[in-house]
C-alpha cells in the first residue's frame, strides 16, 4: 500500500522550501544563486571510566589532557577536528551533556541543532557513538568507543540524508583504534570527504545530466535498467544512488507486489537507458520520459544552481510523494471502475491529465496481477490511452 503527503503537483513543488529545512529565516541563506555550504567534522575517544583502564590508555589520555573532558562515568578526548579552535570545546561540551543523559546509543546516529562559534552559528550536527569491539585480550575496553560528529547545513537537512550518514560513519568502524596511528593516512581523509560522499551525489547527477535528468527520473519510477558507460566508478555509483533514492521500490508493503514488479520488468520489451559519459554532455540512448517527469526538471535545475543538496533531496522526495499520490488515486479509480462505467471514464481522464499514465499503469498491472477483473480494466485503460496518444507518451 502506498502513502501520500501531497495533494497537487504545485503543492509538491512548494513543499521543497516549506518543509525541507527551510524555515523562512533559513531559506534566505539558501536563496543565493551559488551557495557553498560549509561542512565540519570532529571525532572523540569515549572512555568508560567505570571500567579499569590499561596503563597505555591512561598515559595516552594524560598526554591529551588539554583536549579531554571528564565526567563521573566517562571521559571524552578529542582525536581530530576541522572546527575552529574556539568552536571545538563547545561541541565537546554538548556531546558530553548528551552522553551524560544517555542520549547517544551505540551505532545509532543522532541529529540535532547545535550553536557554535562558527559563521553559521546554528548548524546541523550528526553524532554517532561507535563502540569498540569487545576482545578477551582487552577487557578494559568494554564500553569504550568513538564519537563521530558531522556538521553542516541544518538539522532538517541532515535528516534527509540519515541513511547515507549512518552508512558512511559505519564505514569507519574497521579502521579506528584508541591511539589513532592511522589518523593522517586514513581517518582524517575519510572524515574530510563526508559531505562530498554522503550528501552531494544527487547534485552531481543533476549537474551531469542537466535537462536530461527527466529520463533518469522516468527510468527510476518505471524500474528500468540504467547502464552508465565511459565514466569512473564514482559517477556510476552516484547514478545508482540517485535511482535508488528516486525509485518507489521499498514503499510497497506486500512482498508479492515487489515480486510482481520484478516480473513485469523482466518481461518488458523496452531496452534500458544507456548513459554514455565519454562525450560532453553525456549521450543518452533508449531515453524515455513523460510529461510528469518533464514537469519536475526545472525544479531540480533551479536547486542545483543554488548549490543546495538539501533542497535537491527534498524535491526528489516530493517527486516521489506526488507519484505515490497519483498511484493511490489510480488504485481507487480502478476499484470503482469494477462497478461503474462512469468511474472507468473518470479513470481515463485522470490518466490523461496526470502525465504519468505509462508508469502508473505498469505499477498497477504488477500490483493487481492476481486480480483478473482489475487486470481487465487496466487493459482497457492501456488500449484507450494508446488510441489517444497519437505517437506521444501518456
User: Cα 282–287–293 angle (5° rounding)?
Assistant: 100
Structure-derived torsion over alpha carbons of residues 191, 195, 197, 199, reported in degrees to the nearest 10:
150
CA dist 382 and 22 (Å) reads 41
Mean pLDDT, range 187-214, rounded to an integer:
96
CA dist 93 and 86 (Å) reads 12
Model confidence, pTM: 0.81
How do residues 211-230 score in pLDDT, each as one tens digit?
Answer: 999 999 999 999 999 999 99
CA dist 126 and 97 (Å) reads 15
E-state strands within 135-272? 145-152, 226-229
Q: Considering only residues 298 and 19, tell me which one the structure prediction assigns the higher pLDDT.
A: 298
Mean pLDDT of the chain: 81
How do residues 337-383 score in pLDDT, each as one tens digit?
Answer: 888 888 888 888 888 889 998 899 888 888 877 777 778 888 888 88
12 backbone dihedrals φ, ψ, rounded to 5°: -60, -40
User: CB-based contacts of 200: which residues, under 8 Å, 6+ apart?
Assistant: 309
- So what's the pLDDT on residue 21? 42
How do residues 225-278 score in pLDDT, each as one tens digit?
Answer: 999 999 999 999 999 999 999 998 766 444 455 455 555 554 454 579 999 999
CA dist 50 and 185 (Å) reads 32
CA dist 308 and 248 (Å) reads 24
- Identify whether 141 is preceded by a cis peptide bond (ω within 30 of 0): no
Q: Are residues 109 and 128 in contact, defined by beta-carbon separation less than 8 angstroms? A: yes
Q: How far is residue 325 from each of residues 77, 159, 216, measured CA to CA in Å?
A: 49, 23, 20
DSSP 120: T
Amino acid at each position: 500500500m502506498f502513502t501520500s503527503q501531497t495533494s497537487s503537483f504545485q503543492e509538491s513543488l512548494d513543499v521543497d522550501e516549506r518543509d525541507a529545512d527551510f524555515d523562512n529565516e533559513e531559506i534566505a541563506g539558501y536563496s543565493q544563486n551559488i551557495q557553498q555550504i560549509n561542512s565540519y567534522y570532529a571525532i572523540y575517544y569515549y572512555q568508560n571510566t567505570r571500567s579499569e583502564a590499561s596503563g597505555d590508555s591512561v598515559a595516552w589520555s594524560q598526554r591529551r589532557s588539554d583536549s579531554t573532558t571528564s565526567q563521573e562515568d566517562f571521559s571524552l578526548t578529542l582525536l581530530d577536528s576541522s572546527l575552529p579552535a574556539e568552536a571545538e570545546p563547545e561541541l565537546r561540551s554538548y556531546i558530553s551533556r548528551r552522553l551524560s543523559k544517555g542520549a547517544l546509543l551505540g551505532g545509532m546516529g543522532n541529529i540535532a541543532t547545535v550553536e557554535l562559534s562558527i559563521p553559521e552559528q546554528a548548524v546541523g550536527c550528526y553524532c554517532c557513538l561507535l563502540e569498540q569491539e569487545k576482545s578477551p585480550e582487552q577487557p578494559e575496553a568494554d564500553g569504550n568507543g568513538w564519537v563521530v560528529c558531522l556538521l553542516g547545513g541544518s538539522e532538517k537537512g541532515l535528516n534527509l540524508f540519515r541513511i547515507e550518514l549512518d552508512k558512511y560513519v559505519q564505514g569507519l568502524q574497521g579502521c579506528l583504534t584508541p591511539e589513532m596511528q592511522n589518523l593522517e593516512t586514513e581517518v582524517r581523509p575519510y572524515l574530510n570527504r563526508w559531505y562530498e560522499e554522503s550528501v552531494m551525489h544527487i547534485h552531481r547527477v543533476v549537474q551531469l545530466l542537466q535537462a536530461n535528468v527527466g529520463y533518469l527520473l522516468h527510468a527510476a519510477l518505471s524500474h528500468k535498467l540504467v547502464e552508465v558507460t565511459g565514466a569512473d566508478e564514482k559517477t556510476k555509483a552516484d547514478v545508482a544512488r540517485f535511482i535508488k533514492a528516486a525509485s518507489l521500490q521499498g514503499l510497497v508493503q506486500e512482498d508479492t507486489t515487489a515480486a510482481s514488479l520484478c516480473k513485469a520488468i523482466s518481461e518488458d520489451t523496452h531496452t534500458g537507458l544507456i548513459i554514455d559519459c565519454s562525450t560532453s554532455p553525456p549521450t543518452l540512448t533508449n531515453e524515455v520520459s513523460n510529461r510528469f517527469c518533464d514537469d519536475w526538471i526545472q525544479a531540480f535545475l533551479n536547486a542545483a544552481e543554488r548549490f543546495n543538496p538539501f533542497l535537491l533531496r527534498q524535491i526528489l522526495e516530493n517527486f516521489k510523494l506526488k507519484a505515490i499520490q497519483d498511484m493511490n488515486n489510480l488504485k481507487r479509480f480502478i476499484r470503482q471502475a469494477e462497478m461503474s462505467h462512469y468511474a472507468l471514464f473518470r479513470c481515463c481522464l485522470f490518466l490523461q491529465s496526470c502525465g504519468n499514465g505509462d508508469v502508473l499503469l505498469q505499477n498497477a498491472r504488477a500490483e493487481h496481477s492476481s486480480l483478473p477483473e482489475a487486470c481487465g480494466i487496466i487493459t482497457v485503460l492501456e488500449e484507450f490511452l494508446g488510441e489517444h496518444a497519437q505517437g506521444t507518451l501518456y
